[in-house]
């Protein structure tokens, strides 16, 4: 360079440096006209190394930057061969500590890029990285300069990125002997490459600065708007960073990111529809449709690229203007899909048909964010994406079912209503897809007799129209699913009820789809962990999933049920009735499809649970027994429980459990058929069933007596009353007798009350009832039973003793009617049953006395004649701690028959004291 130019570029004044740059521009133009490329190269080298790289001379750096810009302007189209030396020093100035140097670097790069145009794309990564840093610059002037340069680079990328090839690569011409096809197939690389850019974007996507995030989203949106670049193919590389942007407190970052994600989701849906349309068109036209070579498709693609470049000439460089047009472009892309699908069958290349989207990687990112992020916006967007992907790639989602269940089910109980609705939609879609898969079993599994009722507080009623719509959507393809699938806020768990109703095996499943197998073990483990969730809706949904999976593949679930069975038993203690109901349905379903050993093991473990958790037995015991009888065979349950209780060594628990079973047997509407079967003892099965229950019922005297009343074995009941006189009459036993008297007035024993009108046929029935009357204290139950007997006293007194044959000895044991004779002839050994009863009661007495002596540290054995008195008195002290000890109260006056049961039970304590006094006196 001339000396005056060098001096001007080193001047501290901007005007003098500018004048020197103008002189330098004229000098280079002259050298270019004279083809003096060596001097031009020397000038460029001098500007770079003596000026632009002068770190400690800011004025020289500024002069070098403006000189390089002037040289680029003078070179014009010839600047391409010098860019390799011009661009690096300018990029180095972007990171200078002096804000003015950074600003002049932006100005210089702007002029260089404006002249170089497509050639600058070779250095796009370096320019992009520098702009990414300057987007968060603290100096406003630098930020404004970087924004101007950013707009220019975006315009160049929009126009040239898809097809521009550097002039340095076009110099390599193919041989003249090459064929035309070879020329087309050998395409030089474009100056811009997504494969080189995406790693840089993946590195920068983790920034936190909101200005840098906005810069990145704007570039991602721009590159995605260029159809020939196919940025969506690289979506997994930066999708995680975009989801992180949704939690940015800056509203602009959130809005632009949400628009970009919506655009990508719409593009994925469009590509999926195009591919499905092409596949359907090929199937409809057959395999004889003409197919063109790859070269012709590429040439057509390049022509379409040229047309798209021409159509983008009017593209607004402003980022805000582009953002305003995004929604419109998405709508246009949706509307153009039908036309593109219709032309796909003719062999024409359709934009998007060769785009490969990695759905499994996208799903992995979505599930990861769903599990790690607690941000509401991120959860909503992730759930919406997952639900949309059910229409696109349901077979890919199958691999993520266990992980999805671990996250979607807890989200169904979120405090945010929108998250709950989105999670319900995903749960419904996931369950519908699993149901649509082919069943594991060869034959349909029989449904339970009655689906358990769902409380209104847990699930709302399901309308028939919505249920039918969901079933139709299950059978049809996922792409044609009805769009309106919003859930009402008040029906969060309605989808669970729908799934239970829609998975009945009566429906014919759709054709099986080729897909990988569901990992049942991982899915069951994930669902079992949800039993620990604090929200009821999540636990209900987990059980609904287990019910559905077991109906589909019972063998696979039974193979791994060892780990889930204890959890299912423990869930019976859940405070929610809806959870317990579904848990029982699942246990019943497993037992119904398993062998007898499994069913017996289930009953044994259930009894162990009741034994260890007495509160569960008190609060949920009746519910559990009744629901199991609804889902399974009631007789099978009672037979198995009776066999287990007969062998139980814990006589106290056995007595309590028999009392519960007996109360349900008498009062439960679900056991009406079992009561009828018990009264029909003319058959061998009925007799066997009665004997089985009797041996187990011996643990509880009152229950055994009521069982004989149910079976109309009144003579046997009367003989039991004779044994009652030798038993220790405790307060608990008196309470049970009181309840039995009240039950005698219920509709269940209507037949018994009517049989009082036939004393000649049922002579021992009177003895049984009068025997109960003698055992009762002077209470309301006593008065009620007395009034009942007095109403038929005239008949009863006349026919109390049946007519017997004078030849029959008076001491012939049992006075059997013809009916009882037939029973004994049929196989029931009544005497052995009585001996069994005595043995069990004696065992219970010894066990109770041993416990009492241990508890009281008794040093002496209580005399036999005072044992009952001591027990009753002890029970009185335990039940009535505030009563005066040692005082024998007189027996209460008979109450009227209208007195409630509460007063009857309250008098039992006073009666215990009275009995003790009278018995001691005697």
Interval 781-802: pLDDT, tens: 899 888 888 888 766 455 444 4
How does pLDDT run across 408-447, given as a tens digit for each residue?
999 999 989 999 999 999 999 999 999 988 764 333 333 3
Q: What's the Cα-to-Cα distance from 801 to each of 241, 646, 674, 815, 866, rounded to whole Å?
A: 95, 36, 32, 10, 34
Q: What local confidence, expressed as pLDDT, does residue 555 receive?
A: 75
Interatomic CA distance for residues 835 and 752, integer angstroms? 26
CB 245 within 8 A of CB 217: yes
Centroid of chain to Cα 681 = 50
Location of structure tokens 């039950």: 743
Cβ atoms of 702 and 652 closer than 8 Å = no
Residue 459's nearest CA partner among 583, 625, 588, 579 is: 579
- 404, 386 contact by CB (below 8 A): yes
Map residue 138 onto helix, strand or coil. coil
CB 478 within 8 A of CB 441: no
* Residue 853 clears pLDDT 60, i.e. is over it: no
How many other CB atoms are found less than 10 A from the CB of residue 371?
Answer: 13
Of the segments 339-348, 505-514, 560-569, which one has the largest average pLDDT value?
A: 560-569
Distance between CA atoms of 86 and 80, rounded to whole angstroms? 10
Of all residues in the chain, the percent with pLDDT exceeding 70 is: 70
pLDDT at 348: 66
| Predicted pLDDT at 794 | 67
- Residue 888 is predicted with a pLDDT of 34
pLDDT of residue 186: 54
Lowest mean pLDDT among 133-147, 510-524, 577-591, 700-714: 510-524
pLDDT for residue 516 is more than 70 = no
pLDDT > 50? residue 861: no
pLDDT of the residue at 228: 85
pLDDT for the residue numbered 795: 65
Q: Which has the higher per-residue pLDDT, 914 or 652?
A: 652
pLDDT of 194: 92
The more confident residue out of 329 and 62 is: 62
Mean pLDDT estimate for the chain: 75
Range with lowest mean pLDDT among 120-134, 170-184, 679-693: 170-184
How confident is the model over 717-770, as pLDDT tens digits?
Answer: 999 988 988 888 888 889 999 999 999 999 989 999 999 888 888 889 988 999
Correct CATH for 1-165 of 3.10.20.30, 1.25.10.10, 2.30.42.10, 1.10.3720.10 = 1.25.10.10
Give residue 77's pLDDT. Answer: 86
pLDDT-derived band of residue 11, with 50, 70 and 90 as boundaries? confident
d(CA 136, CA 211): 6
More confident site: 281 or 895? 281
Residue 639's pLDDT is what?
92
- Token pair of 49, please? 């190394």
Report the alpha-carbon distance of residue 907 to residue 911 in Å, rounded. 6
Cα–Cα distance for residue pair 449/452, rounded to 1 Å: 9
Closest CA to 352 of 274, 292, 280: 274
Lowest mean pLDDT among 300-314, 343-357, 375-389: 300-314
Q: Which residue has the tokens 């898969």?
A: 437
Count, residues in the chain: 922
193-207, 330-344, 723-737, 819-833: least confident range = 330-344
pLDDT tens for 827-844 read 688 888 888 888 888 888
CB 610 within 8 A of CB 617: yes
pLDDT at 881 exceeding the cut of 60: no
Higher per-residue pLDDT: 840 or 853: 840
pLDDT band at 852 (very low <50, low <70, confident <90, very high): low
Q: Tens digit of pLDDT for each residue in 612-650?
A: 989 999 988 998 999 899 888 899 999 999 999 988 888
Q: Closest Cα partner for 128 from 235, 231, 218, 257?
A: 218
CA distances from residue 368 to 39, 371, 421, 566, 698 in whole angstroms, order as listed: 60, 5, 20, 30, 59
Look at residue 900 and tell me whether its pLDDT is greater than 60.
Answer: no
The alpha carbon torsion through 284, 287, 288, 291 (nearest 10 deg) reads 110
Q: Using one digit for the tens of pLDDT, what is the confidence trace for 200-248?
A: 999 999 999 999 999 999 999 999 999 888 899 999 999 999 999 999 9
Read off the DSSP letter of residue 758.
Answer: -
pLDDT in tens, 51-100: 888 888 888 888 889 999 999 999 988 898 899 999 999 999 999 899 99
The structure tokens 């050639």 sit at 119
* Res. 466 pLDDT band, cuts 50 70 90: very low
Residue extents of the structural domains in the chain = 1-165
* Alpha carbon distance 57, 53 (integer Å): 9
Residue 414 Cα to chain centre, angstroms: 12
Whether 296 shows a pLDDT value over 60: the answer reads no
Cβ-Cβ contacts under 8 Å for 297 (sequence gap 6 or more): 349
Task: Reply yes or no on whether the pLDDT at 152 is more than 60.
Answer: yes
- pLDDT of 537: 93
- For residue 477, pLDDT beyond 70: no
CA 75 to centroid of chain Cα atoms? 66
Task: Kindly report which listed range (125-134, 553-562, 684-693) carries the lowest average pLDDT score.
Answer: 553-562
User: What is the model's pLDDT at position 725?
Assistant: 81
pLDDT value for 439: 60
CA distance 747 to 425: 48
């Amino acid at each position: 360079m001339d000396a005056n130019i060098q001096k001007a570029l080193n001047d501290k004044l901007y005007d003098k440096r500018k004048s020197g740059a103008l002189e330098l521009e004229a000098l280079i133009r002259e050298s270019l006209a004279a083809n003096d490329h060596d001097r031009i190269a020397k000038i460029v080298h001098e500007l770079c190394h003596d000026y632009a790289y002068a770190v400690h001379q800011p004025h020289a750096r500024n002069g070098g930057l403006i000189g390089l810009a002037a040289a680029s302007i003078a070179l014009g189209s010839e600047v391409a061969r010098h860019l390799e030396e011009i661009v690096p020093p300018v990029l180095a100035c972007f990171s200078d500590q002096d804000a003015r140097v950074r600003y002049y670097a932006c100005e210089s790069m702007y002029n260089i890029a404006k002249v170089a145009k497509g050639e600058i794309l070779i250095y796009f990564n370096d320019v992009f990285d520098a702009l990414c840093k300057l987007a968060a610059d603290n100096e406003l002037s630098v930020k404004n300069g970087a924004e101007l340069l950013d707009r220019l680079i975006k315009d160049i990328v929009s126009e040239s990125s898809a097809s521009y090839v550097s002039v340095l690569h076009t110099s390599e011409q193919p041989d003249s002997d090459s064929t035309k096809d070879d020329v087309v197939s050998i395409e030089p690389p474009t100056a811009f490459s997504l494969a080189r850019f995406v790693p840089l974007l993946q590195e920068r996507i983790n920034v936190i600065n909101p200005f840098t995030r906005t810069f990145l989203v704007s570039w991602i949106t721009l590159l995605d708007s260029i159809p020939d670049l196919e940025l969506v193919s690289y979506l997994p590389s930066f999708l995680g960073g975009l989801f992180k942007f949704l939690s940015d407190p800056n509203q602009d970052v959130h809005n632009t990111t949400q628009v970009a994600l919506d655009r990508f989701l719409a593009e994925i849906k469009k590509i999926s529809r195009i591919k499905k349309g092409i596949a359907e068109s090929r199937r409809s036209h057959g395999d004889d449709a003409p197919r063109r070579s790859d070269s012709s498709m590429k040439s057509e693609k390049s022509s379409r690229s040229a047309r798209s470049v021409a159509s983008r000439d009017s593209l607004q460089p402003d980022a805000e203007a582009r953002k305003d047009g995004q929604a419109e472009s998405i709508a246009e892309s949706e509307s153009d899909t039908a036309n593109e699908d219709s032309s796909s069958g003719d062999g024409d290349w359709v934009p998007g048909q060769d785009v490969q989207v990695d759905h499994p990687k996208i799903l992995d990112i979505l599930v990861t964010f769903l599990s790690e992020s607690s941000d509401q916006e991120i959860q909503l967007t992730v759930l919406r994406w997952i639900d949309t992907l059910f229409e696109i790639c349901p077979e890919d989602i199958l691999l993520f079912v266990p992980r999805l269940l671990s996250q979607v089910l807890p989200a169904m109980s979120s405090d945010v209503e929108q998250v709950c609705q989105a999670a319900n939609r995903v749960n419904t879609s996931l369950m519908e897809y699993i149901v649509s898969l082919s069943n594991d079993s060869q034959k349909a599994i029989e449904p339970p007799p009655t689906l358990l009722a769902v409380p209104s507080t847990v699930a709302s009623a399901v309308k028939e129209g919505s249920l039918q719509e969901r079933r139709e959507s299950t059978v049809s393809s996922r792409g044609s699913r009805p769009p309106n699938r919003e859930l009402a806020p008040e029906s969060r768990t309605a989808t669970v009820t729908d799934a239970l109703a829609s998975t009945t095996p009566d429906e014919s499943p759709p054709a099986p789809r080729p897909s990988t197998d569901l990992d049942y073990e991982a899915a069951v483990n994930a669902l079992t962990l949800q039993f620990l969730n604090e929200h009821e809706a999540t636990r209900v949904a987990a059980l609904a999933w287990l019910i559905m999976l077991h109906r589909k593949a019972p063998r696979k679930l039974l193979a791994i049920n060892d780990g889930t069975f204890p959890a299912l038993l423990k869930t019976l203690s859940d405070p929610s009735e809806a959870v317990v109901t579904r848990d029982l349905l699942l246990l019943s379903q497993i037992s119904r499809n398993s062998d007898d050993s499994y069913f017996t093991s289930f009953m044994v473990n259930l009894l162990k649970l009741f034994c260890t958790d007495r509160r569960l037995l008190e609060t949920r015991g009746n519910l559990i027994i009744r629901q199991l009888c609804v889902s399974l065979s009631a007789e099978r349950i009672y037979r198995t429980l009776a066999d287990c209780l007969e062998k139980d060594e814990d006589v106290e628990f056995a007595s309590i459990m028999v009392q519960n079973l007996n109360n349900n047997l008498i009062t439960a509407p679900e056991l009406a058929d079992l009561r009828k079967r018990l009264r029909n003892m003319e058959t061998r099965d009925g007799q066997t069933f009665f004997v089985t229950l009797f041996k187990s019922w011996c643990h509880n005297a009152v229950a055994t007596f009521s069982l004989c009343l149910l079976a109309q074995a009144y003579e046997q009941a009367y003989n039991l009353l004779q044994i009652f006189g030798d038993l220790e009459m405790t307060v608990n036993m008196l309470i049970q007798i009181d309840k039995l008297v009240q039950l005698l007035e219920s509709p269940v024993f209507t037949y018994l009350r009517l049989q009082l009108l036939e004393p000649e046929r049922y002579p021992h029935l009177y003895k049984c009832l009068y025997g109960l009357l003698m055992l009762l204290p002077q209470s309301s139950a006593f008065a009620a039973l007395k009034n009942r007997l007095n109403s038929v006293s005239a008949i009863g007194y006349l026919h109390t003793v049946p007519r017997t044959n004078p030849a029959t000895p008076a001491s012939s044991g049992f006075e059997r009617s013809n009916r009882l004779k037939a029973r004994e002839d049929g196989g029931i050994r009544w005497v052995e049953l009585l001996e069994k009863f005595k043995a069990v009661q004696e065992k219970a007495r010894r066990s109770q006395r041993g416990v009492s002596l241990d508890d009281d540290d008794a040093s002496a054995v209580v005399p036999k004649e005072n044992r009952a008195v001591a027990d009753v008195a002890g029970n009185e002290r335990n039940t009535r701690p505030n009563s005066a000890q040692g005082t024998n109260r007189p027996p209460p006056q008979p109450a009227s028959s209208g007195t409630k049961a509460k007063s009857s039970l309250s008098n039992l304590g006073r009666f215990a004291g009275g009995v003790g006094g009278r018995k001691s006196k005697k």
